[in-house]
Structure 1
Amino acid sequence: MSVHPTRRRTTTAVLSALAVLGLAAAAPSALADDSARSTRVAAGPVSWSAALDEVDADDANVRWTDGALRLRGTTLRAASAEGTRGHGTQVLAAEKLDKQVNRVRAELSGTVPEGTVLVDVRGRAADGSWTEWREATGAEAVLPRTVRTVQARLTFQDPKGEARVSGLRLTASRGAEQPGRERAGAAAFSAQVFATREGLVGGTTANGHVIQPNDHFVALPSRRGLSPNGSGDFSVEVCGPVRCETAPVWDVGPWNTRDDYWNPSAERESFQDLAQGMPESQAAYETGYNGGKDGSGRTVLNPAGIDLADGTFYNIGLNDNGWVTVTYLWTGAAK
């Protein structure tokens, strides 16, 4: 799989508390390395404004025009979950900070009807691993661990094409650690789940990838583990009757869009009364959980917890939908 090169655009973090104290001049030069930066202790939150006008290859169905970010069109929807039309995404440049943070708040400006634009954030640790995405729309996002690099993603769910985002300001700080977040030495989590073939060649995934014949990727029912287009930041190992394959998570679905069932129950975004490793769709299909319906109110017709692109589906030895073992490679000690 090709991986987009790291984008070079950056914005400048503003350490407002330092400026008030008159200490900004003591900051090391921009050429200081990470080890030098790591010795700095900055008080107060860190704030910066995102560069929304830079739309590039890992963004989908959005454009910057007349001073605002908006959808290019309203017909696109994420393929696997058959979600609402008016889908689009922008993955912003990662912001390198001068302090450790684990909480991020997002403030959108412009004309943004409620629910039409969601902001997710994730953090990258010193070892290069990313945390899962956490939603920061309307509430402070709490990351699973402290980080020095933060990245934001905008997701449009705007079937009428009304949203006009003129600005995004992010504020990061460090708060109390949440118990149980660090799992030193823990292996990546694995579960046996029902897999379906996504197909849908020519459709577009939740990260903007146009599905090709014999494609290799998977869909999981949560944005928390969605890789940017072309990257393998979040990947799974999926094992079928013949072999295993490692494939990136490039779509959201099947059935649900807020069901990160690979996380411990207390950390799941939704359906926290289900056991870790139990997709909501499987519980709905097998036991009538949630009245036998998914999170959108549709009657669940199979217990699928993962969708496989055609190339992955056939490569692991499936000829029909069936049970597979999936390892969520970003989980465990470096989640």
Structure 2
Amino acid sequence: MRRDPRPTALPGAVRPAARLVRRGPAAAVSLLALVALSLTAGPAAARDAAPADGPLGSVSWRADLSVPSGDETNVSRADGALRLRDPHVRPASARSPRGQGTVLLPVHRLDRAVDRITPDVDVTLPAGSQVVVDVRGQDGLGRWTEWREASADDPAVLPRAVTRVQARIVLVAAADGAVPGIRALSLSAELDVDDAGPSVAAAASLTATVYATREGLVGGTTANGHVIVADDHFVALPSRRGLSPKGSGQYSVRVCGPARCETAPVWDVGPWNTRDDYWNPSSTRESFKDLPRGRPEAQAAYLEGYNGGLDGSGRRVLNPAGIDLADGTFHNVGLNDNGYVTVEYLWTAAGAATTSFPTWGTDVNIRQQATSASTRVAQLAGPTTVRVQCQVRGQLVQSNGYSNDAWSYLPDYGGYVSNIFIDNAAGWLPGVPNC
């Protein structure tokens, strides 16, 4: 039998007939109330999960590669496989000699929270070619994580729990033009709360001063499949981790030049490098981890001789560029020639601070939304400490004459828990903002 929650009341909430006395974060109740607690079912948030639900473990699914996704570039289908169509078509900014194609798969909705994703691929790989699977996730607040490359030997670990996952397949030709193919893709995912970091303070998105070059290349194709037009407005950054889907601004930057600022989406990969997410902290940077955050590898190579003055592909770096600007963006911010600009990487904000609180109770459900009718995405087996990011008014949860409609969002679990299960005297948690 589950233990009933300690009554937690909000101003104006219904109170039981028995007198309640607060003693620290919990409440002491009269003997009459204790008897009532032992005979009464728990609140809706705990009561609605039948034992048949079982524990929430890993989940797996198979991507349907037979149906065009609607967001594909330079791929074809033959003999039940996806193949790179033309080994000569490549992303404009990177200026790589190797052809590339991409497939953005539909978003997959999960019935549980996950933060570790492992792909299983069936591929044809001529020598020197590549098939890469990138994944990202969307959390309960609607925020996308960055893309992370994943493999069977090195799963992608996302920075927070998510309940929607999207995969992107990147096919890269060999230097001799041989093309790869992929016949099947399955993904498995699980929640590893042990990966959650410590509480962090809110932090603004990164702003850095970097050297900008003009991309030009009208008629070329960007890494997300956009065909460049005259007076175009977008930017290229040297990593796929911050690459927006075609037509979207999900990853955007604010570029400030001599005349004005412009917010532009990231639609291409380059210049110079393709694995240099220099806007991330050194500890999570994909490559060149010994460089400080905000310094592009090309800048360090050109100005300081880093990596022997070469980029990640072994080419001699001829300018310190850390961003390419499409023609329209280049001229709009006031550049007449290549030069330094100030760039804010808008998706890199650390978000709201979290506050840790103890919980109590067993088999406490965490929901996708602030209602017990919503999908259960995780469960707290017993008392623990959770990080609360924000709180909302949701379904009214009642127990033994007490009522509370406050729910807390737990970023490590990707969902909401009724505040009745937070071991705190206040129904509306002090110091925690609204979601």
Q: Give yes or no for TM over 0.5.
A: yes
**Pairing 1:61-140 to 2, within 5 Å after superposition:** 61-113=74-126, 115-138=129-152, 139-140=154-155
Percent identity over paired residues: 60
Kept after mapping to 1: 8 A contact 2:102/2:169: yes
Kept after mapping to 2: 8 A contact 1:235/1:329: yes
Deviation at 1:56, TM superposition (A): 4.1
Deviation at 1:45, TM superposition (A): 0.9
Deviation at 1:179, TM superposition (A): 5.7
Deviation at 1:333, TM superposition (A): 2.5
Alpha-carbon spacing, 1:167–1:126, altered in 2? closer, same or farther (3 Å):
same
Kept after mapping to 1: 8 A contact 2:172/2:180: no
Matched residues in 2 for 1:183 and 1:247: separation?
28
Residue among 145, 148, 152 paired with 2:163 = 148
Deviation at 1:158, TM superposition (A): 1.6
**Is 1:250 aligned to 2:267, yes or no?**
yes
1:10-65 deviations in whole A, cap 9, x for unaligned?
A: xxxxxxxxxxxxxxxxxxxxxxxxxx99xx87522110001112224421011222
**Is 1:283 aligned to 2:300, yes or no?**
yes
Stretches of structure 1 that go unaligned for 5 or more consecutive residues are: 1-35
Kept after mapping to 2: 8 A contact 1:145/1:177: no
Amino acid at match of 2:141: D
Q: Which residue of 2 aligns with 1:29?
A: none
Deviation at 1:118, TM superposition (A): 0.2
Kept after mapping to 1: 8 A contact 2:102/2:168: yes
Q: Which residue of 1 aligns with 2:386?
A: none
Matched residues in 2 for 1:305 and 1:156: separation?
24
Q: CA RMSD in A?
A: 2.0
Kept after mapping to 2: 8 A contact 1:71/1:161: no
Alpha-carbon spacing, 1:51–1:150, altered in 2? closer, same or farther (3 Å):
same
Alpha-carbon spacing, 1:180–1:243, altered in 2? closer, same or farther (3 Å):
farther
Q: Which residue of 2 aligns with 1:22?
A: none
Deviation at 1:163, TM superposition (A): 1.9
**Is 1:326 aligned to 2:343, yes or no?**
yes
1:197-227 deviations in whole A, cap 9, x for unaligned?
A: 0001111111111110000000000010001
Amino acid at match of 1:142: V
Matched residues in 2 for 1:78 and 1:42: separation?
45
SS at match of 1:311: helix
Higher mean C-alpha displacement, 183-192 vs 140-149:
183-192
Residue among 202, 212, 215 paired with 2:229 = 212
Amino acid at match of 1:143: L
Kept after mapping to 2: 8 A contact 1:221/1:260: yes
**Pairing 1:173-322 to 2, within 5 Å after superposition:** 173-178=190-195, 180=197, 183-322=200-339
Deviation at 1:326, TM superposition (A): 0.5
Moved runs in structure 1, 4+ residues, more than 4 A?
179-184
Alpha-carbon spacing, 1:41–1:295, altered in 2? closer, same or farther (3 Å):
farther
Higher mean C-alpha displacement, 69-78 vs 174-183:
174-183
Matched residues in 1 for 2:241 and 2:97: separation?
18
SS at match of 1:330: helix
Q: How many residues align?
A: 298
Kept after mapping to 2: 8 A contact 1:144/1:181: no
**Is 1:157 aligned to 2:157, yes or no?**
no
Kept after mapping to 1: 8 A contact 2:88/2:97: no
